[in-house]
Structure 1
Amino acid sequence: MTDSNRRKGLRAASVLLGGVLVLSACSGGDSEASSGGGDSTSQAKVDEAAAKKASEAQIKITPKDGSDNASINNAAKVTVSKGTLTDVTMKTAAGTAVAGRISADKKSWSPTGQLERSTSYKITATADDSAGRTAHENASFTTVSPANSFIGNFTPEDGSTVGVGMPVSINFDKAITDKAAVQKGITVSSSSGQEVVGHWFSANRLDFRPEDYWKGGSTVTLKLNLDGVEGANGVYGVQQKTVTFKVGRNQVSVVDARTKTMKVTRDGKTVKTIPISAGGPDNKTYQGQMVISEKFKETRMDGSTVGFTKKDGKGEYDIKDVPHAMRLSNSGTFIHGNYWGAKSIFGAVNTSHGCVGLSDTKGAGDPNTPAAWFYNNTLIGDVVVVKNTGDKTVAPDNGLNGWNLGWAAWKAGSAA
C-alpha cells in the first residue's frame, strides 16, 4: 500500500471509530443501567438510602400554610402520626411568643389562650419517630381581621344573679344577614326545662326568653358557638364561649299611676307598698312590662338628652345627683329617688317627665327612704309593670322589654 492509500485508510477507520464512539456514548446509559452502573442508578441508590434514614413521623399543622381569615379560637393546632412531638414554637410576625401545650401523649399541641385578630403567626414543629429520627414542619397563617369578623356583646354577665325578667340579649357589632346560621350557633337553656326561643329585633340584635318569666332559683346557660360562622358575606364569627347565670327570687313590682302606688311582690307575696309619683298629664309614663337593666346609686339626668329642651336649647331639667336610679327603657324611663319634690306629692300627684319617682334624700345616704329600700332590694332583671298611665305600651326593643310581645309574635321573630 502506498503512503497515500495508507492515509486514506486511516482516515476511514477514524471516521468509523468516531461513529462507533458516538453510538456508544448515546446508548451507554441504557446499557449501563441494565448492568447496574451509571449516574441514574447511583442517584436512585442515594435517594433510597436517604429515604431509609428519613423520619416516619408525619407532622400536620393547621391552618395550612398561607391561610388567612383563620379562627382566633381553635384553628391553630399541630398533630403528629407515627411519632411524638418534641418541640413546638409559635410566634407572631413581630416575634412575640405564644404560649402552648403539648398533650400528655405528645401527639398534639395547641395554644393555651385565644389568638389576636389581624395577626400573622408562624409555627415551627419538631417530632421524632420510634427510631429517634427527626422530622420538621413549618407553617404561617393570618387570623381573621375585625373587618371580616363579628362579635356579639351579651347581657347578663357570666356568674351574675338576675331577676326573673332578664332576657339574654345579644347585640352584634356587624349587621347579620344570615340570621339562621348565627342563631343556629347560639343555644340558651334553663335548668327549669322551660322552652327558650330567640327573637330578632334587628340585624344587630337577638334576644332569648321563655314564654313566662324565668323560674326563680333556676340556672340559665348561654352557649356561643359562633367561631367560623359566616354571619354576612365574608364576615365570620370568632366567639366560642359558655356563660351561666342564676335567676334569683321572683320579684315583680306593679306601679299603678291611678292610685299612685307601687306594690312589690316577692314569690307571689306582697312585701311592700310604696307611694310614687309617675309622669304628669303632659309627659305620661310608658305602660307595660319593663325590666330593670341598670342601677346607679347616683346619676345625672339632663332633659336635653331625651328631648326635653327649652327655647335656649338647654334641658328643661338637669339634675346632677339623682339618687337610686334604675333604668326601665333606653329612651330615658327610670324609676328613681326624688329629693327635690315635696314629700306630699308621693302617693298623691303625678308630676314627673315620664319617670317613676320615689321619695328620697339628697346624697343617697339615708337607707330608710322608700327609694333606698327599693334600690337595695332590687336585682338587675327584676320586672316593673306600669299601668293606668294613659300612655302607649313601651316598645319591646326599647330596653329589655320583650315581654310586651305575645308568645306567638315572639316566636315569629325567630330565624331557627
Structure 2
Amino acid sequence: MSTALPRRVLLGISAGIAAYKSAQLARLLKQAGCEVRVVMTDGAQAFITPLTLQALTGEPVRTSLLDPEAEAGMGHIELARWADLILIAPATADVMARLAHGHADDLLTTLCLASDADKAMAPAMNQAMWRQPATARNARRLIDDGWRLLGPDSGDQACGDVGPGRMLEPDAILAALSEPADRPAEGLHVVITAGPTREPLDPVRYLSNHSSGKMGYALATAAAALGARVTLISGPVALPTPAGVERLDVESAREMHDAAQRLAGDCDLFIGCAAVADYRAEAPAEHKLKKQEGEDTLTLRLVKNPDIIAAVAARPDRPFVVGFAAETRDLAAYAHDKLARKGLDMVVANDVSRVGLGFGADDNAALLLWREGDTTGQADLPPQPKAELAEAVIRRALECLTPPAGDAD
C-alpha cells in the first residue's frame, strides 16, 4: 500500500478563521517534499495575506479568475492540469455548498471543476452549521462525487461554541493524506459507541465501570483511516477526539440510547463498543445521600437500562450491527449466545480477566464471530495493540458488509 504524498498540491484557502492554519499546512507540505501552489478566495484574504503564502511556498498566489496577466494563456486550465491533488483547507460551508452543486463562480471552484486531480477538503465552520441537514447533504454529495473529507474535528471554536466543526490541525491533515491508499470504507457512515456510562445515584455519586474507551476510540480512528465518515458516541473518558471523527458526548445509558437511535437509520455500520451500565437507580436522590446513624446497610432499587445494541439490531432500517462482549469466563459460549439472542451480524468478544488486556490496557485480544448465511464464521485475534486489533475488526466487518462480487444470489 502506498503512503506517499502527492507531488504537486494545489492548496485552496477559503474564508474561515481557520485560514491561519493554512500557513503551517503549506509549510508542512513543502517540508514533506511537495510542490505547493496556493489559490485564495476573496474572503480568505481578510484572514491571511497572499504574501505570507507566497513566502512559504516560493510560488505566486492566485486570487482571481479574471487576472489578465495569468489568463493570457488560460492560466486556470494550466493550473488545473498541473495539480496531482486539490486540497481545500479550510473549506467553509459556502464552498462546500457551491462545489456540491457544481458552481464555478470564482477561481477556486472553477479549478475544481476543470481538474481531474484527486480532491480533498478539511471542513471548518460553526458547530451549528456543520450539524445542519443541508451541510450533511452537501457532504454526502461531495463524497459521492469523489471528494475526500478530512474532519472536521470537535472542540472549542472561535465563536465560543463547543462541538464539531473545527478544522483539523495541519499535522493531522498531513497524516491523513499519508494514509494507506486502500480506503475500503470510503463513502460509508460508521457509528461507534465507546467508553462507560454513568448512572447517577445522587448529585455526587454514580454507578459506572472500568472502561477507558480506548478500544472504541481505536475503532473510530481505524474506520476514519479506512475512509469512513465516523460518528463517535462517547461516554465520559479522558481521551482526545480522533482526527476526522465527529464526537457526541453523553453520560447515561438512556442518553447513549437516544443518540444511537437518532443515528442508526443514517449509517451503514453500527459498532456497540461502549460498556453500558445494565441498571440505573430507579429514583436518583435529589440531594447527597447521607450516612444514617445506626444503619450499616443501604438499599438501592435499580431498574434495567435500555439495550442499545439490541434496539439498533431490531430496527427495520438497521445497519450492519457489531456488538462487543466483555466476559470473564466461557467466552465462546457467551459470544455465540449474544450473536443469536440480540440478532447481531457480528460479535467481538474479549476476556477482560486476562492480565494486561481489556479495560484500561493498550493491548487486547478477541474472538470474532459473524454470520455466514446459516453458519457462523470465526476468527481468533491474538494479543496485539488495540490500534491493530481495531483495524482488523473494521476490515472484517467491511468484508461481511460488502461481500466480493459473485457471492450474491
User: TM-score, with normalisation over the residues of structure 1?
Assistant: 0.25
Which one has the bigger helix percentage?
Answer: 2
Which one has the bigger strand percentage?
Answer: 1
Larger Rg: 1
